[in-house]
A and B are shown apart, each in its own frame.
Chain A
Amino acid sequence: MAKDEAVRDLVNRLELPFNALGVDPYGISKKHLATGFSILGWMYRKYFRVHAVGVENVPKRGRAMLVGNHSGGYALDGAMVIASMMLEMEPPRLAQGMAEKFINQLPIGSLWSSRTGQFTGLPEHAERLLLDDRLLMVFPEGAKGTAKLYKERYSLVDFGTGFVRLALKTKTPIVPLGFVGGGDAVPTVMNSYALGKIMGVPYVPVTPYGVALPLPVPCEVHYGAPMVFEGSGDEDDVVIKGYVEQVKSRIAELIDAARTNRRSRLKRGGAR
Protein backbone atom coordinates (compact mmCIF):
# COMPACT_ATOMS: atom_id res chain seq x y z
CA MET A 1 0.00 0.00 0.00
CA ALA A 2 1.71 3.15 -1.10
CA LYS A 3 1.28 6.21 1.05
CA ASP A 4 -1.05 8.24 -1.08
CA GLU A 5 -1.24 12.01 -1.16
CA ALA A 6 -4.77 11.99 0.23
CA VAL A 7 -3.62 10.20 3.39
CA ARG A 8 -0.65 12.54 3.75
CA ASP A 9 -3.04 15.45 3.48
CA LEU A 10 -5.28 13.98 6.19
CA VAL A 11 -2.30 13.56 8.51
CA ASN A 12 -1.24 17.14 7.82
CA ARG A 13 -4.68 18.37 8.78
CA LEU A 14 -4.61 16.64 12.19
CA GLU A 15 -4.73 19.29 14.90
CA LEU A 16 -1.85 17.87 16.94
CA PRO A 17 1.24 19.81 18.08
CA PHE A 18 3.82 18.22 15.77
CA ASN A 19 7.37 19.63 15.83
CA ALA A 20 9.55 20.36 12.80
CA LEU A 21 10.51 16.68 12.63
CA GLY A 22 6.85 15.66 12.47
CA VAL A 23 6.67 14.23 15.99
CA ASP A 24 4.28 15.32 18.75
CA PRO A 25 5.15 15.44 22.49
CA TYR A 26 3.99 11.83 22.89
CA GLY A 27 6.13 10.54 20.04
CA ILE A 28 3.26 10.27 17.56
CA SER A 29 4.88 10.52 14.15
CA LYS A 30 3.39 11.85 10.93
CA LYS A 31 5.44 9.40 8.92
CA HIS A 32 4.10 6.39 10.80
CA LEU A 33 0.55 7.74 10.77
CA ALA A 34 0.70 8.15 6.98
CA THR A 35 1.83 4.54 6.51
CA GLY A 36 -0.61 3.24 9.10
CA PHE A 37 -3.61 5.05 7.67
CA SER A 38 -2.76 3.99 4.12
CA ILE A 39 -3.29 0.41 5.29
CA LEU A 40 -6.20 1.12 7.65
CA GLY A 41 -7.90 3.27 5.02
CA TRP A 42 -7.79 0.45 2.50
CA MET A 43 -9.18 -1.99 5.08
CA TYR A 44 -11.86 0.50 6.05
CA ARG A 45 -13.04 1.30 2.55
CA LYS A 46 -12.32 -1.77 0.49
CA TYR A 47 -11.90 -4.80 2.72
CA PHE A 48 -14.48 -4.27 5.46
CA ARG A 49 -16.53 -1.63 3.62
CA VAL A 50 -17.25 0.03 6.95
CA HIS A 51 -20.39 2.11 7.12
CA ALA A 52 -20.31 4.82 9.80
CA VAL A 53 -23.41 6.55 11.14
CA GLY A 54 -23.51 9.53 13.50
CA VAL A 55 -19.90 10.69 13.11
CA GLU A 56 -21.20 14.24 13.70
CA ASN A 57 -21.78 13.23 17.35
CA VAL A 58 -18.02 13.24 17.95
CA PRO A 59 -16.80 16.69 19.08
CA LYS A 60 -14.54 18.31 16.47
CA ARG A 61 -12.17 19.60 19.14
CA GLY A 62 -11.50 19.22 22.84
CA ARG A 63 -11.44 16.19 25.06
CA ALA A 64 -13.87 13.37 24.40
CA MET A 65 -14.08 9.67 25.13
CA LEU A 66 -15.29 7.16 22.55
CA VAL A 67 -16.72 4.21 24.46
CA GLY A 68 -17.72 1.09 22.59
CA ASN A 69 -18.12 -2.65 22.41
CA HIS A 70 -15.69 -5.25 21.19
CA SER A 71 -17.30 -7.45 18.58
CA GLY A 72 -15.01 -10.46 18.61
CA GLY A 73 -11.71 -11.97 17.51
CA TYR A 74 -9.29 -9.17 18.21
CA ALA A 75 -9.49 -5.40 18.20
CA LEU A 76 -10.39 -4.96 14.52
CA ASP A 77 -13.24 -2.80 15.76
CA GLY A 78 -10.76 -0.47 17.47
CA ALA A 79 -8.70 -0.15 14.30
CA MET A 80 -11.80 0.62 12.22
CA VAL A 81 -13.06 3.22 14.72
CA ILE A 82 -9.65 4.92 14.53
CA ALA A 83 -9.90 4.82 10.73
CA SER A 84 -13.42 6.26 10.73
CA MET A 85 -12.37 9.22 12.93
CA MET A 86 -9.53 9.92 10.52
CA LEU A 87 -11.42 9.42 7.27
CA GLU A 88 -14.93 10.66 8.07
CA MET A 89 -14.35 13.61 10.41
CA GLU A 90 -13.73 17.14 9.25
CA PRO A 91 -11.10 18.07 10.35
CA PRO A 92 -9.77 14.52 10.88
CA ARG A 93 -9.10 13.44 14.47
CA LEU A 94 -6.72 10.87 15.84
CA ALA A 95 -8.52 8.50 18.20
CA GLN A 96 -6.09 7.19 20.80
CA GLY A 97 -6.94 3.76 22.12
CA MET A 98 -5.98 2.32 25.46
CA ALA A 99 -4.03 -0.74 24.35
CA GLU A 100 -3.60 -4.05 26.13
CA LYS A 101 -0.30 -4.27 28.00
CA PHE A 102 1.08 -7.13 25.93
CA ILE A 103 1.22 -5.00 22.76
CA ASN A 104 3.99 -2.79 24.12
CA GLN A 105 5.95 -5.88 25.15
CA LEU A 106 6.09 -7.22 21.60
CA PRO A 107 8.66 -6.06 19.06
CA ILE A 108 7.02 -4.13 16.18
CA GLY A 109 3.83 -3.87 18.28
CA SER A 110 5.69 -1.63 20.68
CA LEU A 111 7.12 0.55 17.93
CA TRP A 112 3.91 1.00 15.94
CA SER A 113 1.61 1.51 18.90
CA SER A 114 4.01 4.13 20.30
CA ARG A 115 4.37 6.04 17.02
CA THR A 116 0.62 6.10 16.32
CA GLY A 117 -0.50 7.14 19.79
CA GLN A 118 -2.06 3.83 20.84
CA PHE A 119 -0.60 3.72 24.34
CA THR A 120 -0.88 1.09 27.06
CA GLY A 121 -4.17 1.44 28.92
CA LEU A 122 -2.83 3.01 32.09
CA PRO A 123 -4.94 5.46 34.12
CA GLU A 124 -2.04 7.93 33.90
CA HIS A 125 -2.12 7.83 30.10
CA ALA A 126 -5.90 8.18 29.90
CA GLU A 127 -6.02 11.15 32.24
CA ARG A 128 -3.08 12.97 30.67
CA LEU A 129 -4.43 12.58 27.14
CA LEU A 130 -7.86 13.89 28.16
CA LEU A 131 -6.37 16.85 30.01
CA ASP A 132 -4.47 17.49 26.77
CA ASP A 133 -7.85 17.61 24.94
CA ARG A 134 -7.26 14.44 22.95
CA LEU A 135 -9.84 11.97 21.66
CA LEU A 136 -9.60 8.84 23.79
CA MET A 137 -11.00 5.48 22.67
CA VAL A 138 -12.02 3.04 25.39
CA PHE A 139 -13.42 -0.48 25.26
CA PRO A 140 -14.53 -1.09 28.84
CA GLU A 141 -14.97 -4.82 28.18
CA GLY A 142 -11.20 -5.15 27.81
CA ALA A 143 -9.63 -8.40 26.59
CA LYS A 144 -12.72 -10.31 27.72
CA GLY A 145 -14.56 -8.38 25.02
CA THR A 146 -12.30 -9.36 22.15
CA ALA A 147 -12.36 -12.96 23.38
CA LYS A 148 -16.09 -13.24 22.55
CA LEU A 149 -16.95 -16.31 20.51
CA TYR A 150 -18.96 -16.10 17.26
CA LYS A 151 -22.22 -16.92 19.01
CA GLU A 152 -21.57 -14.17 21.58
CA ARG A 153 -20.74 -11.52 19.02
CA TYR A 154 -23.64 -9.17 19.77
CA SER A 155 -23.52 -9.56 23.55
CA LEU A 156 -21.81 -7.29 26.04
CA VAL A 157 -19.64 -8.61 28.87
CA ASP A 158 -18.97 -6.77 32.14
CA PHE A 159 -17.87 -3.16 31.82
CA GLY A 160 -15.05 -1.73 33.90
CA THR A 161 -16.00 1.41 35.81
CA GLY A 162 -12.77 3.39 35.58
CA PHE A 163 -13.82 5.17 32.39
CA VAL A 164 -16.84 6.82 34.06
CA ARG A 165 -14.82 7.96 37.08
CA LEU A 166 -12.24 9.44 34.72
CA ALA A 167 -14.90 11.14 32.58
CA LEU A 168 -16.38 12.73 35.72
CA LYS A 169 -13.00 13.78 37.09
CA THR A 170 -11.89 15.38 33.81
CA LYS A 171 -15.38 16.58 32.74
CA THR A 172 -15.20 14.64 29.51
CA PRO A 173 -18.21 13.88 27.29
CA ILE A 174 -18.67 10.17 26.55
CA VAL A 175 -19.55 9.33 22.95
CA PRO A 176 -21.08 5.82 22.92
CA LEU A 177 -20.57 3.64 19.88
CA GLY A 178 -21.86 0.29 18.68
CA PHE A 179 -19.75 -1.78 16.32
CA VAL A 180 -20.95 -4.87 14.42
CA GLY A 181 -19.18 -7.10 11.95
CA GLY A 182 -16.00 -8.00 13.85
CA GLY A 183 -17.57 -11.27 15.00
CA ASP A 184 -18.32 -12.26 11.39
CA ALA A 185 -14.88 -11.18 10.20
CA VAL A 186 -13.19 -13.37 12.81
CA PRO A 187 -15.76 -16.11 13.56
CA THR A 188 -14.10 -17.49 16.68
CA VAL A 189 -15.06 -21.02 17.72
CA MET A 190 -12.55 -21.17 20.55
CA ASN A 191 -9.64 -19.25 22.01
CA SER A 192 -6.32 -20.99 22.55
CA TYR A 193 -4.81 -19.64 25.71
CA ALA A 194 -1.91 -22.14 25.54
CA LEU A 195 -0.85 -20.88 22.10
CA GLY A 196 -1.24 -17.33 23.36
CA LYS A 197 1.17 -17.99 26.19
CA ILE A 198 3.82 -19.17 23.73
CA MET A 199 3.34 -16.11 21.52
CA GLY A 200 3.24 -13.58 24.35
CA VAL A 201 -0.39 -12.58 23.74
CA PRO A 202 -3.42 -13.23 26.01
CA TYR A 203 -4.98 -15.81 23.64
CA VAL A 204 -5.15 -16.79 19.99
CA PRO A 205 -8.62 -16.97 18.38
CA VAL A 206 -9.29 -20.15 16.39
CA THR A 207 -11.78 -20.07 13.49
CA PRO A 208 -13.43 -22.92 11.52
CA TYR A 209 -10.77 -22.35 8.85
CA GLY A 210 -7.97 -22.43 11.43
CA VAL A 211 -5.96 -19.21 11.44
CA ALA A 212 -7.73 -16.09 12.57
CA LEU A 213 -7.20 -13.95 9.47
CA PRO A 214 -10.25 -11.72 9.10
CA LEU A 215 -12.82 -12.39 6.37
CA PRO A 216 -13.82 -9.48 4.12
CA VAL A 217 -17.27 -8.92 5.62
CA PRO A 218 -18.95 -5.51 5.82
CA CYS A 219 -18.84 -3.76 9.17
CA GLU A 220 -20.99 -1.06 10.65
CA VAL A 221 -20.32 1.51 13.38
CA HIS A 222 -22.90 3.82 14.93
CA TYR A 223 -21.97 6.78 17.10
CA GLY A 224 -24.50 8.12 19.60
CA ALA A 225 -25.01 11.59 21.03
CA PRO A 226 -22.45 12.58 23.71
CA MET A 227 -23.40 11.66 27.28
CA VAL A 228 -22.33 14.08 30.00
CA PHE A 229 -22.49 13.12 33.66
CA GLU A 230 -22.07 15.57 36.51
CA GLY A 231 -19.79 14.71 39.42
CA SER A 232 -16.24 14.57 40.73
CA GLY A 233 -15.35 10.93 40.08
CA ASP A 234 -15.23 10.23 43.82
CA GLU A 235 -18.81 8.99 44.01
CA ASP A 236 -19.82 5.66 45.55
CA ASP A 237 -19.62 2.58 43.38
CA VAL A 238 -23.42 2.37 43.24
CA VAL A 239 -23.65 5.79 41.63
CA ILE A 240 -20.81 5.07 39.19
CA LYS A 241 -22.30 1.71 38.25
CA GLY A 242 -25.58 3.47 37.49
CA TYR A 243 -23.80 5.70 34.96
CA VAL A 244 -21.92 2.73 33.54
CA GLU A 245 -25.24 0.92 33.00
CA GLN A 246 -26.63 3.95 31.18
CA VAL A 247 -23.65 3.94 28.81
CA LYS A 248 -23.86 0.18 28.39
CA SER A 249 -27.55 0.19 27.50
CA ARG A 250 -27.01 3.06 25.07
CA ILE A 251 -24.27 0.99 23.41
CA ALA A 252 -26.63 -2.02 23.26
CA GLU A 253 -29.19 0.18 21.44
CA LEU A 254 -26.53 1.37 19.01
CA ILE A 255 -25.48 -2.25 18.35
CA ASP A 256 -29.12 -3.11 17.57
CA ALA A 257 -29.45 -0.18 15.22
CA ALA A 258 -26.19 -1.11 13.51
CA ARG A 259 -27.32 -4.75 13.15
CA THR A 260 -30.60 -3.72 11.51
CA ASN A 261 -28.82 -1.38 9.15
CA ARG A 262 -26.18 -3.95 8.31
CA ARG A 263 -28.77 -6.65 7.63
CA SER A 264 -30.53 -4.49 5.06
CA ARG A 265 -27.17 -3.60 3.53
CA LEU A 266 -26.33 -7.30 3.22
CA LYS A 267 -29.72 -7.94 1.58
CA ARG A 268 -28.98 -5.24 -0.95
CA GLY A 269 -25.73 -7.01 -1.74
CA GLY A 270 -23.32 -5.79 0.88
CA ALA A 271 -22.22 -2.62 -0.85
CA ARG A 272 -22.91 0.82 0.54
Chain B
Amino acid sequence: MKILIAGISGALARQVAMLLKSRGHEVMGLDRRPWRDAPEGIQVFETDLRKRAAEDVFRTRKPECVIHMATVNALTAGGDERARINVGGTRALFEHSVAHGVKHVVFVGRHTYYGASADSPLYHTEDEPPHGIGSFPELADLVAADLFAANALWREPKLCTSILRLVYTLGPSQQGTLASFLRGKRVPLVLGYDPLFQFIFESDAARAITLAAEQRVKGIYNVSGPNPVPLRMIAEQTGRTVVPVPEPLLRALLGRAGFPNLPPGALEHIKYPIVVDGRAFKKATGFTHEVDEVEALQRYRLLTGR
Protein backbone atom coordinates (compact mmCIF):
# COMPACT_ATOMS: atom_id res chain seq x y z
CA MET B 1 0.00 0.00 0.00
CA LYS B 2 1.21 3.52 -0.78
CA ILE B 3 1.19 5.46 2.49
CA LEU B 4 1.88 9.16 3.10
CA ILE B 5 2.75 10.28 6.63
CA ALA B 6 2.22 13.95 7.42
CA GLY B 7 4.65 15.03 10.15
CA ILE B 8 7.02 12.16 9.31
CA SER B 9 10.06 13.76 10.97
CA GLY B 10 8.50 13.50 14.40
CA ALA B 11 9.97 10.88 16.72
CA LEU B 12 7.01 8.52 16.74
CA ALA B 13 6.17 9.08 13.06
CA ARG B 14 9.68 7.92 12.08
CA GLN B 15 9.10 4.66 13.92
CA VAL B 16 5.72 4.25 12.21
CA ALA B 17 7.36 4.92 8.82
CA MET B 18 10.08 2.33 9.37
CA LEU B 19 7.66 -0.27 10.66
CA LEU B 20 5.35 0.21 7.68
CA LYS B 21 8.30 -0.02 5.31
CA SER B 22 9.52 -3.22 6.93
CA ARG B 23 6.06 -4.65 6.41
CA GLY B 24 6.34 -4.05 2.68
CA HIS B 25 4.48 -0.78 2.23
CA GLU B 26 5.64 2.12 0.07
CA VAL B 27 6.15 4.96 2.55
CA MET B 28 6.66 8.66 1.96
CA GLY B 29 6.33 11.68 4.14
CA LEU B 30 5.71 15.38 4.45
CA ASP B 31 7.28 17.62 7.03
CA ARG B 32 8.59 21.15 7.49
CA ARG B 33 11.46 19.65 9.45
CA PRO B 34 14.04 17.52 7.64
CA TRP B 35 14.63 13.83 8.40
CA ARG B 36 18.34 13.78 7.62
CA ASP B 37 19.12 10.08 7.95
CA ALA B 38 15.86 8.84 6.52
CA PRO B 39 16.30 5.25 5.38
CA GLU B 40 16.57 4.60 1.69
CA GLY B 41 13.21 4.16 0.08
CA ILE B 42 11.40 6.59 2.35
CA GLN B 43 11.01 9.84 0.44
CA VAL B 44 10.55 12.94 2.56
CA PHE B 45 9.08 16.09 1.02
CA GLU B 46 10.20 19.11 2.99
CA THR B 47 7.16 21.31 2.87
CA ASP B 48 4.38 22.66 5.02
CA LEU B 49 1.10 20.78 4.83
CA ARG B 50 -0.69 24.03 4.08
CA LYS B 51 1.58 24.95 1.13
CA ARG B 52 0.98 24.32 -2.53
CA ALA B 53 3.90 21.90 -2.71
CA ALA B 54 2.12 19.63 -0.25
CA GLU B 55 -0.93 19.37 -2.44
CA ASP B 56 1.36 18.47 -5.32
CA VAL B 57 2.54 15.46 -3.36
CA PHE B 58 -1.05 14.25 -3.02
CA ARG B 59 -1.71 14.96 -6.70
CA THR B 60 1.36 13.37 -8.21
CA ARG B 61 2.09 10.53 -5.77
CA LYS B 62 -1.52 9.46 -5.20
CA PRO B 63 -1.21 7.82 -1.76
CA GLU B 64 -3.90 5.33 -0.82
CA CYS B 65 -3.60 5.98 2.89
CA VAL B 66 -2.60 9.17 4.72
CA ILE B 67 -1.50 9.14 8.36
CA HIS B 68 -1.81 12.54 10.00
CA MET B 69 0.87 12.99 12.66
CA ALA B 70 1.45 16.70 12.08
CA THR B 71 -0.34 18.18 15.08
CA VAL B 72 1.55 19.93 17.86
CA ASN B 73 0.85 20.61 21.54
CA ALA B 74 1.48 23.64 23.73
CA LEU B 75 5.02 22.45 24.52
CA THR B 76 6.02 22.75 20.84
CA ALA B 77 4.28 25.82 19.47
CA GLY B 78 2.43 28.76 20.93
CA GLY B 79 -0.69 30.74 20.24
CA ASP B 80 -1.89 31.37 16.71
CA GLU B 81 0.86 29.33 15.11
CA ARG B 82 -0.24 26.20 17.00
CA ALA B 83 -3.86 26.77 16.02
CA ARG B 84 -2.86 27.25 12.37
CA ILE B 85 -0.86 24.02 12.35
CA ASN B 86 -3.47 21.95 14.15
CA VAL B 87 -6.70 23.19 12.64
CA GLY B 88 -5.47 24.61 9.31
CA GLY B 89 -3.17 21.66 8.68
CA THR B 90 -5.87 19.11 9.45
CA ARG B 91 -8.29 20.88 7.13
CA ALA B 92 -5.72 20.96 4.31
CA LEU B 93 -4.93 17.28 4.79
CA PHE B 94 -8.57 16.24 4.49
CA GLU B 95 -9.22 18.54 1.52
CA HIS B 96 -6.25 17.18 -0.40
CA SER B 97 -7.14 13.61 0.52
CA VAL B 98 -10.68 13.96 -0.80
CA ALA B 99 -9.56 15.83 -3.92
CA HIS B 100 -6.88 13.31 -4.87
CA GLY B 101 -8.49 9.96 -4.29
CA VAL B 102 -7.09 8.94 -0.89
CA LYS B 103 -9.08 6.00 0.48
CA HIS B 104 -8.15 6.12 4.15
CA VAL B 105 -7.06 8.88 6.55
CA VAL B 106 -5.69 8.01 9.98
CA PHE B 107 -5.79 11.02 12.32
CA VAL B 108 -3.38 10.40 15.18
CA GLY B 109 -4.82 12.50 17.99
CA ARG B 110 -4.25 12.55 21.71
CA HIS B 111 -6.05 11.27 24.77
CA THR B 112 -5.67 14.77 26.24
CA TYR B 113 -8.73 15.49 24.08
CA TYR B 114 -10.83 14.46 27.09
CA GLY B 115 -9.19 17.03 29.37
CA ALA B 116 -8.38 16.76 33.06
CA SER B 117 -10.52 18.06 35.89
CA ALA B 118 -11.67 17.13 39.39
CA ASP B 119 -15.03 15.84 38.23
CA SER B 120 -14.02 13.96 35.13
CA PRO B 121 -14.27 10.15 35.32
CA LEU B 122 -11.52 7.57 35.00
CA TYR B 123 -11.61 5.51 31.80
CA HIS B 124 -13.13 7.77 29.19
CA THR B 125 -15.03 6.10 26.39
CA GLU B 126 -15.03 7.40 22.81
CA ASP B 127 -18.56 8.83 23.07
CA GLU B 128 -17.60 11.37 25.73
CA PRO B 129 -17.28 15.08 24.94
CA PRO B 130 -14.09 16.92 25.95
CA HIS B 131 -13.77 18.25 29.50
CA GLY B 132 -12.16 21.31 31.02
CA ILE B 133 -11.27 23.26 27.89
CA GLY B 134 -12.08 26.39 29.88
CA SER B 135 -9.26 25.76 32.33
CA PHE B 136 -6.74 24.86 29.62
CA PRO B 137 -7.50 26.99 26.53
CA GLU B 138 -4.19 25.96 24.93
CA LEU B 139 -5.79 22.57 24.31
CA ALA B 140 -8.71 23.97 22.33
CA ASP B 141 -7.14 23.73 18.89
CA LEU B 142 -6.19 20.07 19.40
CA VAL B 143 -9.76 19.37 20.45
CA ALA B 144 -10.98 21.27 17.39
CA ALA B 145 -8.66 19.29 15.13
CA ASP B 146 -9.94 16.02 16.61
CA LEU B 147 -13.58 17.02 16.16
CA PHE B 148 -12.94 18.36 12.66
CA ALA B 149 -11.25 15.14 11.66
CA ALA B 150 -14.04 13.10 13.24
CA ASN B 151 -16.77 14.87 11.33
CA ALA B 152 -15.17 13.63 8.10
CA LEU B 153 -16.88 10.38 9.12
CA TRP B 154 -20.21 11.82 7.94
CA ARG B 155 -18.96 14.65 5.72
CA GLU B 156 -16.96 12.34 3.49
CA PRO B 157 -18.74 8.98 3.52
CA LYS B 158 -16.56 7.60 0.71
CA LEU B 159 -13.39 8.24 2.69
CA CYS B 160 -12.53 5.83 5.48
CA THR B 161 -11.52 7.89 8.51
CA SER B 162 -9.83 6.58 11.67
CA ILE B 163 -9.53 8.89 14.66
CA LEU B 164 -7.00 7.59 17.17
CA ARG B 165 -6.81 9.14 20.62
CA LEU B 166 -3.41 7.93 21.68
CA VAL B 167 -2.17 8.01 25.27
CA TYR B 168 1.23 9.52 26.15
CA THR B 169 4.14 7.67 24.59
CA LEU B 170 7.38 6.79 26.34
CA GLY B 171 10.46 5.32 24.73
CA PRO B 172 13.88 5.64 23.10
CA SER B 173 13.18 9.01 21.42
CA GLN B 174 12.72 10.58 24.88
CA GLN B 175 10.26 12.96 23.32
CA GLY B 176 6.65 13.74 24.04
CA THR B 177 4.73 15.28 26.91
CA LEU B 178 5.58 12.68 29.54
CA ALA B 179 9.24 12.52 28.49
CA SER B 180 9.62 16.29 28.73
CA PHE B 181 8.12 16.07 32.16
CA LEU B 182 10.74 13.50 33.17
CA ARG B 183 13.62 15.39 31.56
CA GLY B 184 15.22 16.73 34.71
CA LYS B 185 16.61 14.85 37.69
CA ARG B 186 13.85 16.35 39.83
CA VAL B 187 10.20 16.10 38.88
CA PRO B 188 7.84 18.71 40.34
CA LEU B 189 4.46 17.47 41.56
CA VAL B 190 1.55 19.49 42.87
CA LEU B 191 1.55 18.89 46.63
CA GLY B 192 -1.36 16.70 47.67
CA TYR B 193 -2.15 15.46 44.16
CA ASP B 194 -0.84 12.46 42.26
CA PRO B 195 -2.74 11.70 39.07
CA LEU B 196 -2.63 8.46 37.15
CA PHE B 197 -0.69 8.78 33.90
CA GLN B 198 -1.44 6.44 31.05
CA PHE B 199 1.34 5.73 28.61
CA ILE B 200 2.34 3.27 25.94
CA PHE B 201 5.84 2.28 24.87
CA GLU B 202 6.81 3.85 21.52
CA SER B 203 7.21 0.53 19.74
CA ASP B 204 3.69 -0.47 20.80
CA ALA B 205 2.28 2.91 19.74
CA ALA B 206 3.89 2.54 16.32
CA ARG B 207 2.40 -0.94 15.97
CA ALA B 208 -1.06 0.32 16.93
CA ILE B 209 -0.95 3.06 14.28
CA THR B 210 0.34 0.58 11.70
CA LEU B 211 -2.53 -1.80 12.52
CA ALA B 212 -5.08 1.00 12.15
CA ALA B 213 -3.66 1.82 8.70
CA GLU B 214 -3.47 -1.78 7.51
CA GLN B 215 -6.87 -2.85 8.80
CA ARG B 216 -8.58 0.36 7.71
CA VAL B 217 -10.70 0.58 10.86
CA LYS B 218 -13.38 3.24 10.54
CA GLY B 219 -14.40 5.33 13.53
CA ILE B 220 -13.08 6.89 16.71
CA TYR B 221 -10.81 4.84 18.94
CA ASN B 222 -8.90 5.39 22.15
CA VAL B 223 -5.51 3.73 21.85
CA SER B 224 -3.98 2.59 25.11
CA GLY B 225 -1.47 0.01 26.24
CA PRO B 226 -0.84 -1.09 29.82
CA ASN B 227 -2.60 0.08 32.98
CA PRO B 228 -2.03 3.67 34.10
CA VAL B 229 0.44 4.42 36.91
CA PRO B 230 0.52 7.30 39.44
CA LEU B 231 2.87 10.08 38.35
CA ARG B 232 4.97 9.84 41.52
CA MET B 233 5.57 6.17 40.86
CA ILE B 234 6.54 6.90 37.23
CA ALA B 235 9.09 9.44 38.42
CA GLU B 236 10.47 7.18 41.12
CA GLN B 237 10.62 4.07 38.93
CA THR B 238 12.56 5.99 36.29
CA GLY B 239 15.09 7.14 38.88
CA ARG B 240 13.93 10.72 39.39
CA THR B 241 13.46 12.59 42.64
CA VAL B 242 9.96 13.84 43.27
CA VAL B 243 9.55 17.39 44.57
CA PRO B 244 6.00 18.15 45.74
CA VAL B 245 5.38 21.90 45.48
CA PRO B 246 2.27 23.70 46.80
CA GLU B 247 0.11 24.70 43.86
CA PRO B 248 0.29 28.52 44.25
CA LEU B 249 4.07 28.34 44.47
CA LEU B 250 4.35 26.01 41.48
CA ARG B 251 2.13 28.36 39.48
CA ALA B 252 4.47 31.24 40.26
CA LEU B 253 7.56 29.18 39.43
CA LEU B 254 6.46 27.99 35.96
CA GLY B 255 9.04 29.13 33.42
CA ARG B 256 11.43 30.25 36.19
CA ALA B 257 14.25 28.63 38.15
CA GLY B 258 14.47 25.64 35.83
CA PHE B 259 10.78 24.77 36.00
CA PRO B 260 9.13 23.95 32.67
CA ASN B 261 7.38 26.82 30.96
CA LEU B 262 3.89 25.30 30.96
CA PRO B 263 0.68 27.22 30.47
CA PRO B 264 -1.16 27.44 33.82
CA GLY B 265 -3.90 25.11 32.53
CA ALA B 266 -1.34 22.34 32.12
CA LEU B 267 -1.22 22.11 35.92
CA GLU B 268 -4.66 20.47 35.78
CA HIS B 269 -2.93 17.65 33.91
CA ILE B 270 -0.55 17.01 36.79
CA LYS B 271 -3.36 17.24 39.33
CA TYR B 272 -5.99 15.08 37.67
CA PRO B 273 -5.73 11.96 35.53
CA ILE B 274 -6.72 11.41 31.92
CA VAL B 275 -7.33 7.70 31.57
CA VAL B 276 -9.03 6.17 28.56
CA ASP B 277 -10.75 2.89 27.89
CA GLY B 278 -8.91 1.35 24.94
CA ARG B 279 -10.96 -1.82 24.64
CA ALA B 280 -12.84 -0.85 21.45
CA PHE B 281 -9.59 -0.44 19.50
CA LYS B 282 -8.21 -3.71 20.82
CA LYS B 283 -11.41 -5.46 19.79
CA ALA B 284 -11.47 -3.87 16.32
CA THR B 285 -7.83 -4.53 15.45
CA GLY B 286 -6.67 -7.32 17.76
CA PHE B 287 -3.99 -4.99 19.09
CA THR B 288 -2.23 -5.99 22.31
CA HIS B 289 0.71 -4.19 23.89
CA GLU B 290 4.03 -6.02 24.29
CA VAL B 291 5.66 -3.78 26.88
CA ASP B 292 3.77 -3.55 30.17
CA GLU B 293 3.93 -0.58 32.52
CA VAL B 294 6.60 -2.03 34.79
CA GLU B 295 8.91 -3.00 31.93
CA ALA B 296 8.32 0.32 30.12
CA LEU B 297 9.46 2.26 33.19
CA GLN B 298 12.49 0.00 33.71
CA ARG B 299 13.54 0.39 30.10
CA TYR B 300 13.05 4.15 30.23
CA ARG B 301 15.22 4.32 33.33
CA LEU B 302 18.01 2.48 31.52
CA LEU B 303 17.59 4.60 28.38
CA THR B 304 17.97 7.80 30.31
CA GLY B 305 20.87 6.45 32.35
CA ARG B 306 19.55 6.84 35.89
Contacts and interface: CB of A to CB of B under 8 A. Distances in A.
Given A107-B193, A110-B192, A23 B271 contact: no
Contact of A27 (B191, B230, B246, B271): B230
A245 B78 CA distance: 56
Chain B facing A: main interface SS: loop
Given A105-B118, A122-B119, A122-B121, A114 B191 contact: no
A115 B196 CA distance: 10
Contacts of A114: 194-196, 230, 273
Contacts of A109: 192
A21 B119 contact: no
A242 B204 CA distance: 51
B294 interface: yes
B247 interface: yes
Interface string A112-127: 0011000110101100
A110 B271 contact: yes
Given A111-B193, A111-B194, A23 B229 contact: yes
Chain A facing B: main interface SS: mixed
Interface string B229-242: 11001000100000
Nearest to A121: B119
B192 A111 contact: yes
Contacts of B246: 107
Interface in B186-233: 190-196, 227-230, 233
A27 B271 CA distance: 14
Given A21-B233, A23-B233, A125 B192 contact: no
A20 interface: yes
A111 B247 CA distance: 14
B172 to A, nearest CB: 22
B293 interface: yes
Contacts of B233: 21, 23
Contact of B118 (A24, A25, A29, A120): A120
Nearest to B294: A20
Given A107-B247, A115-B230, A27 B118 contact: no
A6 interface: no
B262 interface: no
A118 to B, nearest CB: 12
B230 A125 contact: no
B253 interface: no
Contact of B293 (A19, A108, A128): A19
Interface in A107-162: 107-111, 114-115, 119-120, 122, 124-125, 128
Contacts of B192: 106-111
A26 B122 contact: yes
A122 B124 CA distance: 12
Interface string A5-42: 00000000000000111011111010000000000000
Contact of A21 (B123, B237, B247): B237
Contacts of A19: 227, 292-294
Interface string B116-131: 0011011100000000
B275 to A, nearest CB: 8
Nearest to B196: A27
B294 A128 contact: no
A101 interface: yes
Contacts of B193: 107, 110-111
Contact of B119 (A25, A104, A115): A104
A23 B227 CA distance: 9
A190 B246 CA distance: 32
A66 to B, nearest CB: 20
Contacts of A120: 118-119, 121
13 contacts: A19-B227, A19-B294, A21-B237, A23-B230, A23-B233, A25-B227, A105-B118, A108-B192, A110-B118, A110-B192, A111-B192, A115-B194, A120-B121
